Chains A and B, each alone.
Chain A
């Protein structure tokens, strides 16, 4: 008797847990770079206060975010790998893709700079120098947007990093922040989006070694998951969030997001 009461209580509280999640809310699959840089901590409370809609963000690598969205476990996708995003839309998983904002990647490394790349403007040349000196390099290795951008650079430099993996090339298989932690711990170079780098709290003696190369451009896009493929998608609420972010008002807010006086993301949605 006692036990059935207890079991009933357990079931009830589980049901209560389900019911309590019924405020207007949407689910966004996104990237660790936007979360680790504090972008969502800044923008979502503003959105909530203006619209009353709660935006729940799952931050994983771009590859995993797209995969999760393909499984219909998202209303909106906000990532940074244009080719993969276009494929997502072309295959019918997404309705349409809009440019949202950009920043750039930076190559960071220890002050000692064993590969001698500091102050360079040419990312590919810097990667070549790192490979030549067999200086340690930490890669995300997680199919994220940053990882895809990095692999393109190795490709352009004509370096086979598969052969070096485990030697001077270290694929951490984890998020941007975790990879920065690992780099600082090992004394390795790595590539990061600028926003995560600016807000990263464990820099040690690490500096930006190379920046400003056009190939380091990092575009973020936003996509509504297709409700025809995924009937669970909250299309109206999702579209409302997208429209708000790409509106002049949303774009101004993105531009106003600064840390230590440095702008984290540059809005560039086409009206």
Chain B
């Protein structure tokens, strides 16, 4: 397969030459997915913590619902957001369709359930450990949630990485609501889809290699940060 060797060469060539289009696309991918991740954490962590500390009626159903939302197909999310943001849709007056903001919204809808469901699992283990203390201290639910999120932060980093991974690798939703517009809404995954459909498989693969390298670097970086932080915490 000539494509493989060629693609690695092309990938390194693109990075080394500081290709402006490439950096723009990578930058937008990062901006959109990190912003979606930030919003998802702000939404998902409290929901996860709430599901742990409050044993309300129907909690089991809510948890099952959030868990199954993890598996929603991105293309369906994209279609729903398209219908909402389209000029003919209920929020069309905002004029957000085919903008990075629309992509952030779609990815947030996609990964907030992942962050919520996984953080519930992480925090549930912690809650079992802390439950008695919370009771004896008689602290409010809000403080208990905060304490769980703060003390569970290392586990939550892994949760955030899972969410980020899904967001940055996703193509179905962002291509519908973003439109893959050059210099405006073209990100790594939609650029790969475009190069593939041009039959430029080498370039598509090169972009894929760069995307995977970024994903690996982000994970390694987060792992290293976590290791350093944990060492300091227990030193």
CB pair B87 A72 closer than 8 Å = yes
CB pair B88 A36 closer than 8 Å = no
Residue-by-residue, is B76-113 near A (CB-CB < 8 Å gives 1, otherwise 0)?
00000000001111001001111111001000000000
Q: How far is the CA of A180 from the CA of B198 in the complex (A)?
A: 9
CB pair B95 A232 closer than 8 Å = yes
Q: Which residues between 187 and 208 of chain B lie within 8 Å of chain A, taking CB atoms?
A: 194, 196-202
- Other-chain contact of A18, B42, B88, B101, B197 (Cβ < 8 Å): B101
B29 at the interface (CB under 8 A from A): no
Instruction: Kindly count the residue-residue contacts between A and B in the assembled complex, taking CB atoms under 8 Å apart.
Output: 91
Chain A interface residue count, CB cutoff 8 Å, equals 41
Q: How far is the CA of A27 from the CA of B178 in the complex (A)?
A: 12
Whole-angstrom distance between the Cβ of A55 and the nearest chain B Cβ: 9
CB contacts (< 8 Å) of A18 on chain B: these are 96, 99, 101
CB contacts (< 8 Å) of B87 on chain A: these are 71-73, 230, 232
CB contacts (< 8 Å) of A21 on chain B: these are 99-100, 184
Residue-by-residue, is A1-17 near B (CB-CB < 8 Å gives 1, otherwise 0)?
00100110010011001
CB contacts (< 8 Å) of A73 on chain B: these are 86-88, 97-98
Residue-by-residue, is A32-50 near B (CB-CB < 8 Å gives 1, otherwise 0)?
1001101011001000000
Interface size class of B (residues with CB under 8 A): 20 to 34
Q: Which residue of B lies closest to A58 (CB)?
A: B179
CB pair B92 A181 closer than 8 Å = no
Are A57 and B182 CB-contacts (below 8 A) given A36-B197, A200-B198? yes
CB contacts (< 8 Å) of A36 on chain B: these are 194, 197-198
Whole-angstrom distance between the Cβ of A221 and the nearest chain B Cβ: 21
CB contacts (< 8 Å) of B180 on chain A: these are 58-59
Are A202 and B88 CB-contacts (below 8 A) given A6-B38, A57-B181? no
A240 at the interface (CB under 8 A from B): no
- Other-chain contact of A175, B96, B183, B197 (Cβ < 8 Å): B197
Are A177 and B199 CB-contacts (below 8 A) given A6-B42, A10-B35, A17-B101? yes
Q: Which residue of A lies closest to B38 (CB)?
A: A10
Whole-angstrom distance between the Cβ of B206 and the nearest chain A Cβ: 13
CB contacts (< 8 Å) of B100 on chain A: these are 17, 21
B10 at the interface (CB under 8 A from A): no
Q: How far is the CA of A15 from the CA of B80 in the complex (A)?
A: 22
A176 at the interface (CB under 8 A from B): yes
B210 at the interface (CB under 8 A from A): no
Q: How far is the CA of A214 from the CA of B197 in the complex (A)?
A: 27
Q: How far is the CA of A27 from the CA of B86 in the complex (A)?
A: 13
CB pair B199 A202 closer than 8 Å = yes
- Other-chain contact of A3, B31, B42, B197 (Cβ < 8 Å): B42
CB pair A201 B200 closer than 8 Å = yes
CB contacts (< 8 Å) of B183 on chain A: these are 54
Whole-angstrom distance between the Cβ of B142 and the nearest chain A Cβ: 12
Q: How far is the CA of A14 from the CA of B34 in the complex (A)?
A: 12
B211 at the interface (CB under 8 A from A): no
* New A-B contacts (18) at CB < 8 Å, excluding given A177-B199, A232-B92: A6-B38, A10-B42, A13-B35, A14-B101, A27-B98, A35-B194, A38-B198, A41-B182, A54-B184, A58-B179, A68-B86, A73-B87, A177-B196, A180-B199, A181-B197, A199-B198, A200-B198, A201-B198
Q: Please, could you name 25 A-B residue pairs with CB atoms under 8 Å apart, sorted by A?
A: A6-B42, A10-B35, A10-B38, A13-B35, A14-B35, A14-B104, A18-B96, A18-B101, A21-B100, A41-B182, A54-B183, A54-B184, A56-B179, A56-B182, A58-B179, A71-B88, A72-B88, A73-B87, A73-B98, A177-B198, A201-B199, A201-B200, A202-B199, A202-B201, A230-B87
A binding-site residues for B, Cβ under 8 Å = 3, 6-7, 10, 13-14, 17-18, 21, 27, 32, 35-36, 38, 40-41, 44, 54, 56-59, 68, 70-73, 174-178, 180-181, 199-203, 230, 232
